[in-house]
Amino acid sequence: MRAFAKEQLPVLWTLLAALALGFVGNSTSLYIQQLLILAGINILLANGLNLISGITGQLSLGHAGFMSVGAYVSASLSLRFGQPGLFLPILLAGGIAAGLLGALVGLPTLRLKGDYLAIVTLGFNEVIRVVFLNLEAIGG
């Protein structure tokens, strides 16, 4: 079996950080837990940016929009069904929602490169921001 490729190392670091957060759990203060959670979120964002910009060489400005959709879905489900045993399914639902929206935006823009892809993803960010600010159903 071959060793990890250079492109696979960020995924390994993300998994190790998530594992460390799971082991730390309730044994530390809330401040340390919050720092570890924010570090994990930023690791995921950096891995996504590394994938699209570093490996494929494309310029995408839509990461904040996709991340906000996943975060909003997870947060709203946590408020409605926030039981300790449902943490992982709620987290997966947020990721699935962001992935489905990413596929919805990605399919029409498959052949775009460079500046055109950046413009489409920037426009998507603005659409998501306006929707979050104006729809009463999601807290406007």
**How many of the other CB atoms lie within 10 Å of CB of 46?**
15
pTM: 0.74
Q: What is the pLDDT of residues 27-84, one digit of tens each?
A: 677 887 788 778 878 887 888 888 888 878 888 888 889 999 998 998 888 888 877 7
Q: What is the pLDDT of residues 5-30, one digit of tens each?
A: 666 676 677 677 667 766 666 667 78
Going by pLDDT thresholds of 50, 70 and 90, the confidence category of residue 85 is: confident
Higher pLDDT pick, 135 / 125: 125
